[in-house]
A and B are shown apart, each in its own frame.
Chain A
Amino acid sequence: MIPGVDGFMYPNEVELQWSVLIVLYPFVTGLVAGAFILASLERVFKVEAVRPTYRLALLTALSFLLVAPLPLQLHLGHPERSFEMYTTPHRSSAMAMFGFIYLWYLTVVLLLEIWLEYRSDIVRLAQSSKGFPRLVYQALTLGSMNVSPAARAIDDKVGYAVTVIGIPSAFLLHGYVGFIFGSIKANPWWSTPLMPIVFLFSAMVSGIAAVLLLYMASMKLKKWPIDMRCVDTIAKYLFYAFVIAFSLEMLDLIHRTYESDESFRSLDFMVHTRLWYSHVVLQIGVGTLIPLALLAANQLWKFSEAKRRVMYVTACSLTMIGIFAMRWNVVIGGQLFSKSFLGYTTYKVELVTREGLLAAIALMLLPFVIFFVLVKILPPWQETEAHKA
């Protein structure tokens, strides 16, 4: 008997190939896509109530997007060769498109939109600051110092167009991640055409929850009042996205159960044993049903501000746990059973290896460090301050 293995696995299957770092990849890109879609609510769909989080959402998306390729790089056997994906991409490979979609999203969508949104602020800061910061802001102006009303109107128009392009791009960014898994016909846990759309809606849920948490935390740190109209509106959209995401996941589950193909017994056994805690308890129970109930309650009844704040923070925190558990269950769960459907292996997270727990924690903290730096360079609070004043 091989330790950690029950039943029969093909001999090369005993060792898992995709580790916790690959769990981070869809989690992080999901936050990017979700945060961006929240930003687009204000810009394209004119949901004015969420304006206080617009810039915050863009900076959140950028912070996570900059980190997104790192877990993949760390995971590669030969990271120094990753550039080959740009120079000699294999056109039939879903994964080969990662670099292009990533670059498109980073440069054409996110950086451009942030630059346009902040351009007048950057010009102002380039003129008002001194020393090194002045050099930084001067560089960030890219030589464009014109902030006349006409120039700003152009910024607005182009920014709007970029956001319009950005919405399908955000869908592409994360739907594509779902496709990477959903298109593997050898793996019945992954292989479903619902995977991209399930990933997409769960991305929206996690991104919206992350921005809501960051907004409330920022206000708390700054000792500024929370704009409850904004928070209530975001919570409402979070609830809608969550209902769709959960419905899609349940549709997938019901479909699998009803169809009961040759893989069903094996997968069903896995869900009831090795994935019981992470899938049923964490993902569905703690990470979905409880936050959904909290958010639904706020749609049905009126609670006091203090109660709503606690409910939102609880719901969003649990949502983040639930979505992380979902990514875990997809990536790790998909490797725990044998493709012979006759056995199961175990994943033990290593601690200080290249793909270990510490590396994963560091990679999860890094976006917050980047976020902190970005907030310092490009303060998103302008309107809140004005509002406060």
Chain B
Amino acid sequence: MEITRRDMLSVGGKLLMIASVGATFEQITGAEPPPDTYRMADHWWGMIIDIDKCIGCGNCVRACSDENQVPKDYFRTWVERYEVPEGYVNPRVSSPQGAINGFPPSQQTSLKSFFVPKLCNHCADSPCVQVCPVGATFVSPDGVVLVDKDYCLGCRYCVQACPYGCRYLHPETETVDKCTLCYHRITQGLTTACCENCPTGARQLVDFKDPKDPVHEFLRENKVAVLKPNMATEAKVYYKNLDGSVR
């Protein structure tokens, strides 16, 4: 049978439609891909934060709270406002309710003011992981610090050991809770709730093992720093233009 150009186009078009519909269907429904498509060894997650882009709207805090059912008055992420009023050298810092509702207008005439989003730094050399007496908190092979809530004793040694104040005892489960970098999302190919809801792109989830990830360019081209580098925790949340006063 002779295949004409018309037949080729017809069959090819149909195949293309089926393929595209299939892909769209998966994207639209959010159907989970087969679990074996995510290989932990292929990833090494972290985050980059551009201080100059953060407007302190608190969207990230709200999104995180909703996505992860974070209990009231506890925070997996929060935003701090640093202000250096006229006549002062040291900044004044505030984070009302973790900035879940953003910030009220500043009452002061500031020489300098900026926002610093905070979250677990998913340290490669985590003091929290080191001190857990039963190994309930651990670094996953893809670089995320997680807590096994079915194993955690609730001793809170890790809370004491975290230099960044990122951990708390969940009042209902009575186990330690913290940012998971939205592990349930990132293993499905999605970004974190905080990054997805940041209107300015100040926060970006990055994969250090992905050679095409913009993090490599970001680290090459910008002046970046981690929080409390003296703690030597190998933090994986990098800040662009981080002021030296930030703790």
B134 in the interface (beta carbon within 8 A): yes
A17 in the interface (beta carbon within 8 A): yes
Q: Which of A9, A72, A92, A98: most chain B CB closer than 10 A?
A: A92
Measured in the bound complex, the distance between the Cα atoms of B180 and A220 in whole Å is: 61
Determine whether the beta carbon of A341 is less than 8 Å from that of B247. Answer: yes
Determine whether the beta carbon of B152 is less than 8 Å from that of A10. Answer: no
Determine whether the beta carbon of B169 is less than 8 Å from that of A186. Answer: no
Q: Given that A12-B74, A76-B155, A342-B93 are contacting pairs, would A17 and B132 also be in contact in the complex, using a CB cutoff of 8 Å?
A: no
Determine whether the beta carbon of A78 is less than 8 Å from that of B174. Answer: yes
Within 8 A of B (CB), among A53-102: 72, 75-79, 81-82, 84-85, 88-90, 92-96, 98
Within 8 A of A (CB), among B135-189: 135, 151-157, 159-169, 173-175
Interface size in chain B (residues, C-beta < 8 A): 43
Measured in the bound complex, the distance between the Cα atoms of B174 and A10 in whole Å is: 20
Determine how close the nearest CB of chain A comes to the CB of B107; give it in whole angstroms.
Answer: 13
Measured in the bound complex, the distance between the Cα atoms of B95 and A79 in whole Å is: 34
Determine whether the beta carbon of B130 is less than 8 Å from that of A84. Answer: no
A18 in the interface (beta carbon within 8 A): yes
Measured in the bound complex, the distance between the Cα atoms of B166 and A342 in whole Å is: 16
Q: Given that A11-B75, A17-B160 are contacting pairs, would A93 and B131 also be in contact in the complex, using a CB cutoff of 8 Å?
A: yes
Q: Mark A170-195, 1 if CB is under 8 A from B, else 0.
A: 00000000001000111100000000
B103 in the interface (beta carbon within 8 A): no
Determine whether the beta carbon of B168 is less than 8 Å from that of A12. Answer: yes
Measured in the bound complex, the distance between the Cα atoms of B133 and A93 in whole Å is: 5
Within 8 A of B (CB), among A92-137: 92-96, 98
Q: Given that A12-B75, A78-B175, A85-B134 are contacting pairs, would A186 and B168 also be in contact in the complex, using a CB cutoff of 8 Å?
A: no
Residues of A within 8 A of B168 (CB): 12, 15
Residues of B within 8 A of A77 (CB): 152-156, 169, 173-175
Determine how close the nearest CB of chain A comes to the CB of B49; give it in whole angstroms.
Answer: 16
Determine whether the beta carbon of B154 is less than 8 Å from that of A78. Answer: yes
Residues of A within 8 A of B166 (CB): 10, 12
Within 8 A of B (CB), among A10-34: 10-15, 17-18
Residues of B within 8 A of A299 (CB): none
Determine whether the beta carbon of B157 is less than 8 Å from that of A186. Answer: no
Determine how close the nearest CB of chain A comes to the CB of B218; give it in whole angstroms.
Answer: 26
B208 in the interface (beta carbon within 8 A): no
Measured in the bound complex, the distance between the Cα atoms of B152 and A82 in whole Å is: 9
A340 in the interface (beta carbon within 8 A): yes
Q: How large is the interface on A (under 10, 10 to 19, 20 to 34, 35 or more residues)?
A: 35 or more
Count of chain A to chain B residue pairs whose CB atoms are closer than 8 Å in the complex:
121
Return the chain B residue nearest A13 by Cβ. Answer: B165
Please classify the interface of chain B as helix (H, G, I), strand (E, B), loop, or mixed, using the class held by over half of its residues: loop
A339 in the interface (beta carbon within 8 A): yes
**B130 interface neighbour in A9, A75, A81, A92, Cβ under 8 Å:** A92
Please classify the interface of chain A as helix (H, G, I), strand (E, B), loop, or mixed, using the class held by over half of its residues: loop
B110 in the interface (beta carbon within 8 A): no
Determine whether the beta carbon of B135 is less than 8 Å from that of A88. Answer: yes
B98 in the interface (beta carbon within 8 A): yes
B231 in the interface (beta carbon within 8 A): yes
Residues of B within 8 A of A72 (CB): 155
Determine whether the beta carbon of A95 is less than 8 Å from that of B131. Answer: yes
Residues of A within 8 A of B94 (CB): 8
Residues of B within 8 A of A81 (CB): 134, 151-153
Q: Which of A77, A96, A187: most chain B CB closer than 10 A?
A: A77
Determine whether the beta carbon of B247 is less than 8 Å from that of A88. Answer: no
Determine whether the beta carbon of A90 is less than 8 Å from that of B247. Answer: no
Residues of B within 8 A of A335 (CB): 160
Q: Mark A138-165, 1 if CB is under 8 A from B, else 0.
A: 0000000000000000000000000000
Residues of A within 8 A of B169 (CB): 17, 77
Residues of B within 8 A of A98 (CB): 133
Residues of B within 8 A of A180 (CB): 157
Measured in the bound complex, the distance between the Cα atoms of B175 and A182 in whole Å is: 24
Residues of A within 8 A of B75 (CB): 11-12
Residues of B within 8 A of A17 (CB): 156, 159-160, 169
Residues of B within 8 A of A96 (CB): 133-134
Residues of B within 8 A of A340 (CB): 93, 165, 247
Determine whether the beta carbon of A93 is less than 8 Å from that of B153. Answer: no
Q: Which of A88, A95, A180: most chain B CB closer than 10 A?
A: A95
| Shortest beta-carbon contacts, A-B, top 9 | A77-B154, A10-B165, A77-B174, A186-B163, A90-B135, A96-B133, A8-B93, A95-B133, A17-B156
**Given A78-B152, A95-B155, A184-B161: 4 more A-B contacts, CB < 8 Å:** A11-B95, A78-B153, A96-B134, A338-B165
- A interface residues with partner B (beta carbon < 8 Å): 8-15, 17-18, 72, 75-79, 81-82, 84-85, 88-90, 92-96, 98, 180, 184-187, 334-335, 338-342
- B interface residues with partner A (beta carbon < 8 Å): 73-75, 78, 80, 92-95, 97-98, 118, 127, 129-135, 151-157, 159-169, 173-175, 231, 247
